[in-house]
Amino acid sequence: MTYYRSEQVIEEGLAKVIVPRFEYYRRPDGRLEPAWMPVFYNPQAVLSRDLTVLFLRVVLGGRDYFFIDSLSGTGVRGIRIALEVGGRGILNDVDPRAYYYTNKNIKLNKLAGRLEAFNSEANSLLNNLVVTGVVPDYVDVDPYGSPIPHIDSALKSLGREAYLGVTATDTGPLSCTYPRKTLARYWSKCIKLDFEKEFASRLLISNIALRAAALEISLKPLITLVYKYYVRVFFQARRSAVEAYKTINNCTGYLWYCTNTIERGFTKNPEEVGFKCSDGSKPVVLGRLWTCNIIDPEVASKMQASIGELPWISSLSRGVLEILAQESMINAPYYRLDKLCSILKINMPSTIRVIKRLREMGWISSRTHMDPRGVKASADYGELVEVLKSMSQQHTT
């Protein structure tokens, strides 16, 4: 395979990928700026791609399946899927330069019989598939910014039982940096919370699940990842009007939150939040949000188990997956210990010590991959506060 002096070949997973030479697209501080490159390749998204491979090995591995990488950039994600999981697929990008790279990379990896490059607008391609009867088992949506403009067409294209991977990099609106945008794009009031990253993922999931339900598709998030500037969710999709109703009814609801004390909880009915916070103030009510689990324990542990077969998976991905598997056991937003201890006016014990103490007391507790200061626990607010206070007293006496 020939390539130009302005290009280089990198390796990621089992894939060899021709990309523009990084040295031309570095900021003065040496950091690579993928948005400046003629085709988008971001080394920081290796975690997202590693998890895509591991997820698909668990849910589709060993089957003859068909996938669409609808916003493929260099094609690296789809090429890794083909090499590390299997299946056949379409790698699509509207940008002719991305199409050029994707074609070259398919050839470089000797995948011409299994992968085909397309140069279409993603919604047009996915909507056309519905008419032509081509039914993907997995669709990947990895855009710049919000995934919302791509969700309906991706959903419509899916088979009866299929999977959907979605990235959102609009973490500002999702975590309430721009409340007006949050309301317009994600149909929820919001305020700044101590667990803003989990809020972002629960808001994204509920919004996509609501759109799916309108198309009589039931969506269940199986893996949720929040890393640096992006949220990535892998869903299971089932075509069923009854299931779609049940999912929305059971798994979307509202969050009540006390801004002074950071007490919180989920509720089905916002009118039911008539109670007061422990300092006497009124909780705010936000939503709709996803209130069921956002990580499936079985899928997370199977993904962890399958890492042994893939020695090239990065150490970052291994570490994140280990935490994902632990935190999947608790369906409650994490508490930021630094915030809670500052409210309680006590010294902050280490997250590891708090988790150990909670576990000794019989609670399920875990770190969260979303925030190093976060702790997840099956204990309620009052119990957590007591644990923190007793640890702080032990520390000072």
Ligand X SMILES: C[S@@+](CC[C@H](N)C(=O)[O-])C[C@H]1O[C@@H](n2cnc3c(N)ncnc32)[C@H](O)[C@@H]1O
Residues binding ligand X (CB under 6 A): 40-41, 45, 49, 71-74, 76-77, 93-95, 98, 121-122, 142-144
- The vertex-109 CA angle with 107 and 114, nearest 5°, equals 75
CB nearer ligand X, residue 57 or residue 288: 57
Compute the least distance from the CB of residue 44 to ligand X, in Å: 10
* Least CB distance to ligand X at residue 129 (A): 14
Q: Report the residue number, 121 or 309, with the smaller CB distance to ligand X.
A: 121
Residue closer to ligand X, measured from CB, 115 or 213? 115
Smallest separation, CB 334 to ligand X (Å):
27
Q: Which is nearer to ligand X, 153 or 368 (CB)?
A: 153
Q: What is the closest distance, in whole angstroms, from the C-beta atom of residue 145 to ligand X in the complex?
A: 9
Least Å distance, CB 170 to ligand X, is: 12
Taking the C-alpha atoms of residue 5 and residue 36, their distance in angstroms, rounded to an integer, is 18
Tokens in use for 109?
Answer: 């990896």
Distance CA 119, CA 104 (A): 14
* Between 118 and 256, CB nearer to ligand X: 118
Neighbours of 103 (CB within 10 A): 17
Q: Distances in Å between the alpha carbon of 105 and those of 86, 261, 271?
A: 16, 53, 55
Vertex 67: Cα angle to 145 and 326 (nearest 5): 65
Q: Is 183 exposed, middle or buried (0-12, 13-18, 19+ CB in 10 A)?
A: middle
Give the strand pairing for 230-239 and 161-168. Answer: antiparallel
Residue 157 Cβ vs ligand X, minimum distance, rounded to whole Å:
14
Angstrom distance (rounded) from CA 386 to CA 346: 12
CB-nearer residue toward ligand X: 41 or 227: 41
Q: Between 49 and 104, whose beta carbon lies closer to ligand X?
A: 49
Q: Residue 115 Cβ, how far from ligand X at the closest point, in Å?
A: 14
Name the residue nearer to ligand X (CB basis): 6 or 397: 6
Q: How far is the CB of 306 from ligand X (least distance, A)?
A: 20
Cis ω before 232 (30° cut-off from 0): no
Beta carbon nearer to ligand X, 130 or 352:
130
Q: How far is the CB of 54 from ligand X (least distance, A)?
A: 15
Q: Which two tokens stand for residue 38?
A: 């003629």
Q: Quote the tokens at residue 71.
A: 């916003």
